[in-house]
Amino acid sequence: MKALVTTLLVALALAVLVPIVADLHIYSVVITVLIWIMFGQSWNLLGGYTGQISFGHAMFLGIGAYTSMLLVNAMNLDMALTLLIGGLLAGVLSLGIGFLIFRLKGPYFALCTLAFAEIIHIVARNWKGLTNGGEGILLAKRPTFLGIQIFSKAEYFYLALFLTAAICLFCLYLMRSKTGYSFIAIREDQESAEAMGLNSTLIKSKALFFSAFLAGVAGGFYGLYNKFIDPEMTFTVHMSAEMIFVTVIGGMGTIAGPVLGSAILISLQEYLKSVAFLQAYSSLYLIVYGLLIMLVVVYLPGGVVEGLKKIRALGRKGG
Partner 1 sequence: MYILEVDNLLKRFGGLAAVNNVSFKVKRGEILALIGPNGAGKTTCFNMIAGAMPLTEGRVLFNGRNVTGHKPYDLNAHGMARTFQVVKPLAKLTVFDNLMVACLSKSRNIKEARAKAGKVMARTRLDDLADHEAGLLSIGNLKRLEVARALATEPELLLMDEPMGGLTPPEVDQAIELIRDINAQGVSIVLIEHIMKAVTAVADAIVVLHNGQIIATGAPSSVMNDERVIKAYLGDGYVASR
- Residues near partner 1, by CB under 8 A: 176-178, 181-182, 184-185, 188-189, 191-200
- Minimum separation from the CB atom of position 197 to partner 1 (A): 3
- Minimum separation from the CB atom of position 225 to partner 1 (A): 37
Nearer to partner 1, 38 or 305 (CB): 305
Nearer to partner 1, 198 or 292 (CB): 198
- Minimum separation from the CB atom of position 185 to partner 1 (A): 4
Nearer to partner 1, 144 or 179 (CB): 179
Contact 179, 32 (CB under 8 A): no
Nearer to partner 1, 192 or 279 (CB): 192
- Minimum separation from the CB atom of position 148 to partner 1 (A): 36
Nearer to partner 1, 61 or 193 (CB): 193
- Minimum separation from the CB atom of position 209 to partner 1 (A): 19
Q: What is the DSSP string of the chain?
A: -HHHHHHHHHHHHHHHHHHHH--HHHHHHHHHHHHHHHHHHHHIIIIIIS----S-THHHHHHHHHHHHHHHHHH---HHHHHHHHHHHHHHHHHHHHHHHTT--HHHHHHHHHHHHHHHHHHHHH-HHHH-GGG-EE--S--EETTEE--SHHHHHHHHHHHHHHHHHHHHHHHTSHHHHHHHHHHH-HHHHHHTT--HHHHHHHHHHHHHHHHHHHHHHHHHHHTEE-GGGTSSHHHHHHHHHHHHHH-TT-SHHHHHHHHHHHHHHHHHHH-HHHHTSTTHHHHHHHHHHHHHHHH-TTHHHHHHHHHHHHHHHH-
- Minimum separation from the CB atom of position 90 to partner 1 (A): 27
Contact 248, 159 (CB under 8 A): no
Please tell me the distance from the alpha carbon of residue 149 to that of residue 79, in angstroms, as a whole number: 10
Distance of CA 288 to the CA centre of its chain: 23
Nearer to partner 1, 49 or 116 (CB): 49
Nearer to partner 1, 256 or 268 (CB): 256
Please tell me the distance from the alpha carbon of residue 134 to that of residue 137, in angstroms, as a whole number: 9
- Minimum separation from the CB atom of position 113 to partner 1 (A): 24
- Minimum separation from the CB atom of position 167 to partner 1 (A): 22
Nearer to partner 1, 6 or 200 (CB): 200
